[in-house]
Structure 1
Amino acid sequence: MAPGHILGKRYIIIKRIGQGATSIVYKAEDTKLKRFVTVKVLKEEFANDEAFIKKFTTEAFAVACLSHINVGMVYDVCEEDNLHYIVMEYIEGYTLKELIEKEAPFSQERTIDYAIQILAGLKAAHEQNIVHRDIKPENIMVTEDGVLKVKDFGMAQIVTSSTITLTGDAVGSVHYFSPEQAKGRPVNKTTDLYAVGIIIFEMITNHLPFESDNHITIAIKHINDPIPKPSQYNSLISKTLEDIIIKATNKVPELRFQSADLMSDALKKALITPDTVIPNLSSKNIILDNPLSSTIYLDKQTTEFIRNQEKNSSPAKKEILGSFTRLTAVFLGMAAAIGVIIGVITSYILFGNHIPDNSSQKMAAVPNLIGRTFEEASAIATEDSFIVTKIGEKESTKVKEGTVLEQIPMVSVPALRNSTINLIIAKKPEDVTVIVPDVINLNNADAQKLLEEVGLYFTLTREYSDYIEIGKVINQTPKGNTKAQQRDMVTIVVSLGKEMPYIIMPSLYDLSLEQAENTLKAYELVLGTVTEKESEKPEGVVIEQDIVPNSNVDPDTVINISVSIGRKNLLEDLDNTLDAPLNDVTRQEIEADIEEILQELDAQDDKDNNNEIITKSYTIKLPETLQDNIENQTYQVTITFQTDVGEQTLFDKIINIDEFPYTLDLTGIGSGILTIYFDSLAWQEEMFSF
């Protein structure tokens, strides 16, 4: 669907922003409510498939009943010319996955804040008996204001009891799979909480608990393997937060938090008192979590479930699931071999690292050296028959200075005895203290320049202000003239000017006086002076209005109009002024002259009318100077048009840098000077004619 395409006489497509197996996602503009929206369109090949259409609308029906700040809203569900689409909230910002990749590990405070917001969104869904089933960082947006929104309820199902029966459709993303999802078993609300536990693990450590190039291996690990302790990767994590993660990711759903509220309350306590004891973490429960003696096999029901998924999956998923099914056949066909493996594992449990096998005596699990001094690490490694070598240093605040930050091989990986464990030691980041510039009341561009000069990074948000003019800084965090470290982040808030509700001026042309007055009332505008003028238009219709249609006007603006009184009969006036009536020949000659004059006037009227309402396409290009400013992701763009009559604002909107060059329609009259402003600074002027 090309940019500019209009759906439902309302939604203008701007660009494509994503694509899934069954739908294409676009950014669009709602011309009625003047806001950006996300439009998810069902692909053409599924437009006649009732099952796909029903599945496609599941997301809309599941989330349409939800109204919560931490849930992405659904505005509309539409069908037009066999085209099915859902209109949803357009969320400015980044996915949580993008932030994790750029900034993790997060601080404990930030991690808990984000987790509580995710849980608040899930609570709203769970209260409506909706289980999301695909909670992952890619499905969570973080706005510039730090608000998290759970989106993509496309896999949600409404449940009427604590569990539901799965269909043959896909049921989540493998890295965040609960054990019951990996086995194709019924799920409930704790399934979503398991995924939140994995996300907390990832935010606080910048690691996933289970990683592999093979998706099948990851799924099986979720079923059988205990979640590694987050403190193996981040020694600064509190004991309470670690316990919360372990409880949320329990293999047994009944031993997890039973509601989003309970998990959120635990997180709040962890923020206030990091030593809070989390219940249901006894050794008995942990053993129940990971019974190696009950290692999961892929039975007939699971195999059938996977086959059903394969039939309904995208090609990429089919390839993965096909591998899973083939693996199932191998497992089922090699029961004896598996029995041998189970015996070996049992021996491992009974005898520790010393498995009674000649080859295994050469192997041992790599000990955890993270957070230890080199001397401590060396002693621990020697005890387990390993050698340690320092291969470098790395700036970090994850662990204390002079302790092990990273180790290769990783913790618990089997390795040859007497082999070397390579260590990277943490060193304190260079202390470069700077004074934060006071940028309040400066233009956005000048503020950014000052921050860059002292080596500070910045993020930018925008707010309306009744006192600070558009484009200037309202506030900053941290405050000016305070100390910070180079590369610290400063948040600046830039003014959008005074928040003024504006109205799109309607066209009154060819309306009767009564219709025009009613139209203005409906638009909260006021009828001003009404002037009567001669015109070829029917008597009583509007022929002029002093504000151009489609212009932005304030409520209660007075609109002056002109109304047609038709053409006067010039011959009758002439007869009345003469002493004697005109003869027929003279009358015909005069009528011919008048007709010729009227035709010329009509031609001029047509030309004038064409000049009254002209819409032209115009493309805004980002100036080269601003293209180099990679830190600024948005600009407030304003277009004004100056004529002899006065100045009009034709366009005023925030535009993301990836939307440039930005094409729009301008509506106006005559010729004048067009001025383009970026963040209140005039960057370009040109002569322009409509």
Structure 2
Amino acid sequence: MDTTVADPLVGRVLDGRYRIESRIARGGMATVYVARDIRLDRTVAIKVMHAGLAADDEFVRRFIGEAKAAAALSNPNVVAVYDQGTDGEHVYLVMEYVRGRTLRDLLTARGRLGPREALEVMQPVLAALGAAHRAGLVHRDVKPENVLITEDGQAKVADFGLARAETASGMTKTGMIIGTVGYLAPEQVLSGSADVRSDVYAAGTMLFELVTGELPHQGDTPLAVAYKHVNETVPPPSTLVPGLPHRLDALVTRATARQPADRPQDANAMLAEVAEVHAGLPRDIDERMPQGGTAVMPAGMPPDRTRMFDARTAPTGAPPPPPRRTPADRAIGALTGRYVLIAIGAIAAVVLGWAVWYQTSGQYDRVPEQIIGMRVADARDQLEQGGLDVRVAEPVFNDRVRKGEVAISDPGPGARVTQGATVTLTPSKGRTPREVPDVTGKSEDEARRILQDKGFTPGEVSSAPSQSVAKGRVTRTSPAAGQKHSPDERVRIVLSSGMSMPSLLGRNGQEAENQLRGMGLDVKVEKRKRENSAPGSVIGQDPDPGTGVSSGDKVTLVVNERDCLFGGFFCNDGNRGDGEQIPVPNVMGQPIDQARKALRNSGFKVEIGSRVGNRVVGQNPIGGQAPRGSKVTIWG
């Protein structure tokens, strides 16, 4: 614990309520103190922002907003946020005071944890992150330093929302990311953006560190480590610690996938996978692996007294004291000695029986009855441990078996095979492909619901400009509507970021106005006189070309005035007011080339506006009548 002698806040009462008693730690963003809540007479922890950050109004605004969001979380594995306030130049956050130590302290003392124990630590951590993700909150700084272990072994996650506020303030000083660069997801390195899947990546990295004692990516500088996050895949933990189960390897690999869409989609999904892997591990796997030290059990799980001792009564890393022998123990030992010869005889009989069995039927084995539906890696392990050779065939679609599990075995389940025989495992590559539904024009929530009703899982959401779809609505999916796609593969959703203001300078003013009104925009036309510009043409527009606009937005066209005679019958732009009026074909939905041909055959000139697809999604004018030879604009 660092000194508090020179700290001016120690002894001060913030906001007339919180008396600062001592300093716990100082970081790059804030200093943490132990304080006394005078009003409620309880001990609390107070995080006081550094003066440089407190002077940044935008940062403070986001800090307060995130503090409110964190305070709304109700989960026993989240360090509770009690209050937030400002006292002069001090912006502070009042939190639950947790007596204990950090997961970093535990890892430093132990070196690494066994696979079963590591998953037991991860479960409350992921439960806390899952509560935040359901509330729309991203932690952004998941690491052992932010996991607190209470004196009774309960794990609590701290600092929700603070890293998010820090990132939002635009601060990128190297010193502020050195401590966390080892857990940064590739998207955080590349763009500074993060979502719930970034927390999943950090959690997967932390799990790797718990079972190996090392971070997966290391380098001489933070930049070198960040480069590896972007360009290198996290290796399976068993490459550093032989003997770790393949299912743990697969869990870490999936959680730390470089593409966010390939990871569990939030901490709740990862928690389910962690629980499944934990349930499938042998209960004694930690004892069979080389390790020792103090075990930590999450709250709500009774400690296993056969393999744990209290960190408060024994030095860290020391073996538990040997049990004291009682008179009853000595009596049992003496009695046991009388049966040593009998035991030896029994063992000899077992060995002889095994030898007879081996000569008659020991050369045979059976394919496990439950092999269908097992993870391929687990099935391979079990068969190879039984002395069988394993070959993995190309995956096939299967509606009854999940992706990555055994769909077919040859020989089949229960079949008798000789030692050394080959068993071929055919993995499932997911359910049989089906047509992706059309969700064009739907809101994101509606699109997700429709996809889920059809058995699909929505994937990554991105945005792109659209001239025909309102902002925030779905423009397309990937794969596209109507294409065949396995429900086990995610469907990407592309939302409209709004229409793009077209370039109208030099265009006929009436045509430009009609085009904008056809886009649902509120058009104001101003007329001005400009020499050297065609009469009636557009000489100005607001907003500029390429600007994003949405239906109902106000736009302005500036049109060059033209001189007309006889009440507008003849104008100096060469247009006549009494041209032959002919019907305008409606070509909406037709292929672009077919629509162009139909309009030309009807006596109109055709102009192609912006073009994204191959079919007409917009037309001006649409229907009605127009002068022969006049222009019809279509968009694709």
Structure having the larger proportion of residues in strand: 1
> TM over 0.5: same fold?
no
TM-score w.r.t. the length of structure 2 is 0.42
Q: What TM-score do you get using the length of structure 1 for normalisation?
A: 0.39
